[in-house]
Amino acid sequence: MKDLLTAIKSQLQTDLTYVRASDVNITEDERMLRDAMKSPAVGIKDGTIEYNIATQGADESSELFVKIIAYVDLQKPEAAIMGDSSIGKKGVLDILTDVKTSLRDNLLSGQADEVWFVSETESEFIGDEEAKIAIQMKILTVRYVRYGS
C-alpha cells in the first residue's frame, strides 16, 4: 500500500498543476485539514485491502482501495462545488474529473494490474467557526487490483 500511495501522490502532483505540490498529501483522516493547506488541495487516504485466495490454478490477487479527497475553500455560493470560470477556479467536481483523467488506466509504473473507479460521495461541507475554515470536500474511491503474491 505504501508504494501505491506514494505513486498516486507523485502522479497527482505532476498532473494537477493548479494544486501546489505541498497540498497533495497522504492524509490520516479525510476530515483533517493541515494548518498550512491552501485551496484547492487533494488528500490521499489508504483504504481496505481485500485478499482473493487462489483456487484451481487461478492467480492470487489483492484489491487495494484508496480514497482521493478534493478540498476547495467555500468563498462564493456554488463555486466550491461547480467552480468559478470567471476567475479560473475549479470546484470539487472539476478536481475529481481531473483526478480521474490522471489515474484512468494508469497502472502507476507497475504498482497495479487494474484500476477501477468505485464510487464518489456527495460533496460535503466541513468547517470550523473558531478557525474560520469553510471547506467543501468530495471523495472518490479507487480500487487497484494486483495479481500474484
pLDDT at 118 (0 to 100): 98
Full domain range(s) for residue 134? 2-147
Q: For the full predicted model, state whether its pTM sits above 0.85.
A: yes
CA distance 101 to 52: 28
* Residue 148, pLDDT score: 82
Kindly report the three-state secondary structure assignment for every residue of the chain. Answer: CHHHHHHHHHHHHHHCCCCCHHHEEECCCCCCCCCCCCCCEEEEEEEEEEEECCCCCCCCEEEEEEEEEEEEECCCCCHHHHCECCCCECCHHHHHHHHHHHHCCCCCCCCCCEEEEEEECCCEEEEECCCCEEEEEEEEEEEEEEECC
The number of domains in the chain is: 1
CATH code where residue 72 lies:
3.30.2000.10
- For each of the chain's 149 residues, which pLDDT tens digit applies? 999 999 999 999 999 999 999 999 999 999 988 878 899 999 999 999 999 887 666 678 899 999 999 999 978 889 999 999 999 999 999 999 999 999 999 999 999 999 999 999 999 998 766 667 789 999 999 999 999 85
